[in-house]
């Protein structure tokens, strides 16, 4: 099986093109190939597939074998892959996802290669039961959740996949490993949850660290950055556009008041190509 190793701000993926549909053993392959000691090593396995609704379809298997509904860093990688490999010549494309539907992407091209991608991530889902959480409120803002005797306050947002955003004094040095896995599987979140820990430094800049559902700590999370911006607006902490600073770098996120859509702009990189036995 031929693959391309790619990353968006260090959130890395094994990208596969050429399959007609998602292989039946995709879950097992993800566990095998994403292992950083016995496999290629990645946060997820991404398939670029044909679509009847868009130019391409993206399916993402997390490193634990579960499927992610959407991934903001992966979709930028897919956009770069299809353009840089000559699968499209257009700088505006559409990609179908299973959780967020068809998304529009604007490519910035330099020297014949994609340097950055602006993604229309669609409207955020704020209804608590739809995110989903077990909280029957719309929106779910500054809601308590208790873990091991410690209370956190979270805001719930779905960007095609579920997120809870928690504000802390120092997100950069926050102990992700201690609290991320416990919050991910908390009973308040029936389909588990991506957990963002955020510190607002200015109206246009937020530090964020993430514990991703099915992958653990990652260097970046595009949908998480979008959820963090939406949460920060709902909590009166930022303007409707801001730079979200992740461990792997910065994403620029906008929540457009005119259409209620969230827009994410950031880079994607090709690391290397290879062949692996399935």
Residue 252 belongs to domain with CATH number: 3.10.310.10
> Pseudo-torsion of CA 21, 27, 28, 30, nearest 10°?
90
Kindly state whether residues 67 and 157 are assigned to the same domain: no
Kindly state whether residues 252 and 133 are assigned to the same domain: yes
Rg (Cα) of the chain, in Å, rounded? 18
Kindly state whether residues 70 and 180 are assigned to the same domain: no
Kindly state whether residues 197 and 245 are assigned to the same domain: yes
What's residue 84's pLDDT? 98
Residue 278 has pLDDT above 80, yes or no: no
Kindly state whether residues 59 and 84 are assigned to the same domain: yes
Kindly state whether residues 56 and 149 are assigned to the same domain: no
11 is in an annotated binding site: yes
The predicted-structure confidence for 89-132, as pLDDT tens digits, reads as follows 999 999 999 999 999 999 999 999 999 999 999 999 999 999 99
Residue 255 has pLDDT above 80, yes or no: yes
**CB 161 within 8 Å of CB 99:** yes
Give the pTM.
0.94
Kindly state whether residues 113 and 223 are assigned to the same domain: no
36 is in an annotated binding site: no
Residue 196 has pLDDT above 90, yes or no: yes
Residues 225 and 211: their CA atoms lie apart, in Å, by: 12
Residue 69 has pLDDT above 80, yes or no: yes
In a domain? residue 216: yes
What's residue 78's pLDDT? 98
In a domain? residue 130: yes
Strand partners, 269: 7
Cite the active site residues: 71, 221
Region 204-223 average pLDDT: 96
Kindly state whether residues 145 and 83 are assigned to the same domain: no
Kindly state whether residues 54 and 102 are assigned to the same domain: yes
Half-sphere exposure of 46 (CA within 13 A, CB side): 33
What's residue 9's pLDDT? 97
Residue 277 has pLDDT above 90, yes or no: no
19 is in an annotated binding site: no
Region 218-233 average pLDDT: 97
73 is in an annotated binding site: yes
194 is in an annotated binding site: yes
What's residue 221's pLDDT? 96
Q: In the numeric block, which tokens belong to residue 245?
A: 């600073």
In a domain? residue 278: no
What percent of the chain has a predicted confidence (pLDDT) above 90?
Answer: 99
In a domain? residue 87: yes
Residue 88 CB partners (closer than 8 Å, separation 6+):
55, 82
Q: H or E segment at 144?
A: strand 143-147
Kindly state whether residues 131 and 240 are assigned to the same domain: yes
What's residue 36's pLDDT? 96
Residue 33 has pLDDT above 80, yes or no: yes
Domain region containing 211:
126-259
Mean confidence (pLDDT) of the chain: 97
Region 178-183 average pLDDT: 98
35 is in an annotated binding site: no
Domain count, the chain: 2
Kindly state whether residues 249 and 135 are assigned to the same domain: yes
What's residue 272's pLDDT? 98
Kindly state whether residues 112 and 216 are assigned to the same domain: no
């Amino acid at each position: 099986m031929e693959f391309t190793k790619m990353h968006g701000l260090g959130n890395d993926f094994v990208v596969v093109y050429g399959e007609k549909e998602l292989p039946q053993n995709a879950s097992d392959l993800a566990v095998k190939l994403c292992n950083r000691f016995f496999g290629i090593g990645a946060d997820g396995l991404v398939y670029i597939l044909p679509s009847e609704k868009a130019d391409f379809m993206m399916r993402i298997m997390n490193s634990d074998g579960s499927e992610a509904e959407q991934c903001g860093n992966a979709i930028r990688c897919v956009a770069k892959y299809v353009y840089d490999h000559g699968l499209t010549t257009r700088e505006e494309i559409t990609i179908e996802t299973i959780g967020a539907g068809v998304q529009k992407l604007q490519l910035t091209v330099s020297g014949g290669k994609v340097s950055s991608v602006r993604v229309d991530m669609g409207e955020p889902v704020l209804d608590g039961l739809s995110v989903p959480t077990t909280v029957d409120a719309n929106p779910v803002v500054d809601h308590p959740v208790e873990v091991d005797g410690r209370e956190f306050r979270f805001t719930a947002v779905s960007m095609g996949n579920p997120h809870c955003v928690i504000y802390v004094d120092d997100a950069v040095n926050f102990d992700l490993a201690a609290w991320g896995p416990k919050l991910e599987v908390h009973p308040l979140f029936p389909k588990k949850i991506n957990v963002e820990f955020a510190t607002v430094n200015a109206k246009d800049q937020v530090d964020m660290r993430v514990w991703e559902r099915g992958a653990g700590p990652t260097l970046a999370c595009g949908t998480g950055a979008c959820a963090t911006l939406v949460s920060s607006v709902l909590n009166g902490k930022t303007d409707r556009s801001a730079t979200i600073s992740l461990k792997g770098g910065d994403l620029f996120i906008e929540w457009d008041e005119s259409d209620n859509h969230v827009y994410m702009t950031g880079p994607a990189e090709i690391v290397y190509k290879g062949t692996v036995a399935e």
